């Protein structure tokens, strides 16, 4: 593929049963290396807080820090889809604020999409972002931004009720317009 990977390309790859290769990247070098290795997508995760910035959790990551790293990844990636991971409290306060902040990823950082955590509780935000033209990747299961509420990092979906809720969340996020869903920390 000689052009930049798009949401439509994701759908086509899935429709043809092809694997989609995505890694987490935080800078231009990692983006270049990822593309050279054949990655179609690069997620600029808020995990930069733990892995690059020295924070204990992802919670202290600011929108400005995330935008800076997303822009660096975009500069290093020619074709891969770049997805900016919206940090804690950048989309939870109001739909309007979520739209404004998500728009900054596309306008200022050159992202192709954003990712946000949450299932059914985040549907109004996710749906509205998609309606205004911002591609959204969902994220369910272990949600690092909820680590304090959840009492730490743990597997989700081991009990049948949790597994059923994950299934409902995944379908709801898809129906709300997410082009992909991250499933983290599930059996």
Q: Which residues are catalytic?
A: 184
Contact 67, 109 (CB under 8 A): yes
Ordered alpha helix ranges (H), the chain: 7-15, 28-36, 48-51, 63-76, 95-107, 123-131, 147-150, 160-175
What does the DSSP 8-state code read for residue 131?
H
**Residue 133, by phi and psi: left (phi above 0), alpha (psi -120 to 50) or beta?**
left
Residue with tokens 């892995």: 51
For residue 5 the two structure tokens come to 């990977």
């Amino acid at each position: 593929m000689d052009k930049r990977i798009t949401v439509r390309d994701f759908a086509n790859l899935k429709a043809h049963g092809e694997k989609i290769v995505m890694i987490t990247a935080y800078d231009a070098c990692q983006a270049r290396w990822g593309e050279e290795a054949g990655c179609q997508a690069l997620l600029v995760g808020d995990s930069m807080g733990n892995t690059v910035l020295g924070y204990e959790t992802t919670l202290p990551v600011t929108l400005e820090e995330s935008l800076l790293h997303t822009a660096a990844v975009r500069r290093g990636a020619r074709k891969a889809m770049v997805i900016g991971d919206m940090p804690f409290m950048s989309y939870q306060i109001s739909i309007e604020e979520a739209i404004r902040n998500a728009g900054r990823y596309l306008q200022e950082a050159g992202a192709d999409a954003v990712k946000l955590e949450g299932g059914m509780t985040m549907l109004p935000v996710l749906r509205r972002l998609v309606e205004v033209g911002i591609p959204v990747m969902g994220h369910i299961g272990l949600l690092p931004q909820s680590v304090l509420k959840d009492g730490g990092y743990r597997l989700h979906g081991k009990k049948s009720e949790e597994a059923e809720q994950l299934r409902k969340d995944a379908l709801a996020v898809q129906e709300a317009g997410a082009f992909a869903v991250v499933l983290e920390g599930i059996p």
